Structure 1
Amino acid sequence: MAHRSTTPPRCLRELQRLQDHPPRPGIGLQQCPGSKHQSKGLASKQPSNPLGTVLDREALTDSLAFTNDKNIHLICDEIYSATVFSQPDYISIAEIAQESANCRRDMIHIVYSLSKDLGFPGFRVGVVYSYNDTVVNCARKMSSFGLVSTQTQHLIASMLSDDVFVDRFLSESAKRLGTRHGFLSRGLAQVGIGSLKSNAGLYCWMDLRRLLKEATFEAEMELWRVINKRGEAQRRLAHRSIAEPGWFRVCFANMDDETMRGCVGEDT
């Protein structure tokens, strides 16, 4: 969750511990002393990018209770919701809100897109789902700057109205993502490269710290240039919350099986 990333994990074991026992949402506010700005909301990713993990029901319930208690907004990015390929299952914040009789639904907002779940990045079809009429009206006015073409709307409507196709597509997609993730993680493990245990997303959170010449971001950038020059499907995340160099997100869903076998086989 974006609000509690002031002190990132220092090792793979710590990452796994935080995944299994996530801290309470209030920690984020407690770790921001001296801030002159009042927090307006809590942002979360479900599933997480780049970790590829999902928040369980308890964590989502705690998040909703926290924002409700502090009277701040809860914004949940669910763009990878249909990329979960193993347990635990994905749970939408909308489901938690439906079960919570006393929560302020007008403070809950969900962001979604078809680009990841259905492999439509070029179609630029996204959704802002909010219980707040003011937010919806504002989003409707802003949408005029990025309207979805009539042809795209017709294509999407025809596809999504076919329940049989959608069910088969999502089932097969989850199966292939799980297979590809397992293939990659096993290949990395064979050469001593660790990765965070995950069950969602189109990527893997990979630990390349042992390949750095020194534990600096300059050395990380040097390694990234080597990887990029070879054409591997890895991307450095230049996010402030990642205070330790050597962690990379590797995307495994945007290449064919032969390319993947070549990458892992060559490394192993």
Structure 2
Amino acid sequence: RAESARGIAEIIQEEIECNHDLIHIVYSLSKDLGFPGFRVGIVYSYNDAVVNCCRKMSSFGLVSSQTQYLIASMLSDDEFVNKFIAENAISLANRHKVFTEGLAQVDIGCLKSNAGLFVWMDLRHLLKEQTFKAEMELWKVIINKVKLNVSPGSSFHCSAPGWFRVCFANMDDKTMDVALTRIVAFVHQNKETTVPMKKKCWQTNLRLSFSSRRVDDIMMAQCMMSPHSPLPQSPLVRARN
């Protein structure tokens, strides 16, 4: 269950010691309201230089008057918005439960979470060796052979290899069944070929690090683009059987 949260805009109003010029809020309708196709977002900042820059850049991607009217009308309906967010949270919780329980049937764990659209899937036991290079090799197999669109942890500067980010919110029940079926089949096929992983307490220490250059070195050595580049943002399942 998701815990109650406070927006950063509320916090900076109360925190008098912080430098407001250094805080910038970037937000879009893609996640909370499920409207990625509308391409509507905001930049909220007290920094005049940032606001002026964004204002000039926005001229290349203006939101149409029709879209602005539609969004304004929808967001002005407090009853609808509150009901939508509540029902969406319930649906996400149910989808998360089904997906993580399906993975657990083949001993695939996920980091504990209580909100969001993604899960961190633990595939360390499927790596040939505990390296980021092996993670990228496994990612290629999952993308090209298993036909699942997941993102390797190294693309988020994850501190340990073998973790993959999966979006469980952008598919229907049938698609999720197909995805879980493919994952289960893949795990069964690889049980006899994988090297047992030494037990390490990495899960509680997993973190995203933006100072490490390990991933950049690996990617440059393989002359690869970002893991997100070969594929557009799409549902978990790329192809049908």
Fold conserved (TM > 0.5)?
yes
In structure 1, the partner of 2:103 is 188
Matched residue type, 1:144 = S
Query: After superposition, where does 1:44-193 map in structure 2 within 5 Å?
Result: 86-193=1-108
The question of whether the paired residues in 1 share the 8 Å contact of 2:2 and 2:115 is answered with no
What CA distance in whole angstroms lies between the structure 1 residues aligned with 2:172 and 2:47? 42
What CA distance in whole angstroms lies between the structure 2 residues aligned with 1:223 and 1:101? 48
Which of 231, 240, 251 matches 2:147?
Answer: 231
The question of whether the paired residues in 1 share the 8 Å contact of 2:151 and 2:165 is answered with yes
Q: What is the CA-CA distance between 1:137 and the residue it aligns to?
A: 2.4
Report the 3-state secondary structure (helix = DSSP H, G, I; strand = E; otherwise coil) of the residue aligned with 1:260. helix
What CA distance in whole angstroms lies between the structure 2 residues aligned with 1:246 and 1:147? 40
In structure 1, the partner of 2:219 is none
> Which stretch of structure 1 is more off in the superposition, 216-225 or 152-161?
216-225
Fraction of identical pairs, as percent: 63
Gaps of 5+ in 1: 1-85
Which of 173, 181, 184 matches 1:257?
Answer: 173
Higher relative contact order (CA 8 A, sep 6+): 1
Q: What is the CA-CA distance between 1:248 and the residue it aligns to?
A: 0.2
Cα gap change, 1:194/1:225 in structure 2, threshold over 3 Å: closer, same or farther?
Answer: same
The question of whether the paired residues in 1 share the 8 Å contact of 2:121 and 2:163 is answered with yes
What CA distance in whole angstroms lies between the structure 2 residues aligned with 1:214 and 1:122? 40
Question: Number of matched residues?
Answer: 183
Using structure 2 for the length normalisation, give the TM-score.
0.69
The question of whether the paired residues in 1 share the 8 Å contact of 2:154 and 2:161 is answered with no
Q: What is the CA-CA distance between 1:262 and the residue it aligns to?
A: 3.2
User: Stretches of 4+ moved more than 3 A in 1?
Assistant: none
Q: Pairwise CA RMSD of aligned residues?
A: 2.0
The question of whether the paired residues in 1 share the 8 Å contact of 2:25 and 2:45 is answered with yes
The question of whether the paired residues in 2 share the 8 Å contact of 1:202 and 1:253 is answered with yes
The question of whether the paired residues in 2 share the 8 Å contact of 1:212 and 1:246 is answered with yes
Matched residue type, 2:83 = R
Gaps of 5+ in 2: 186-241
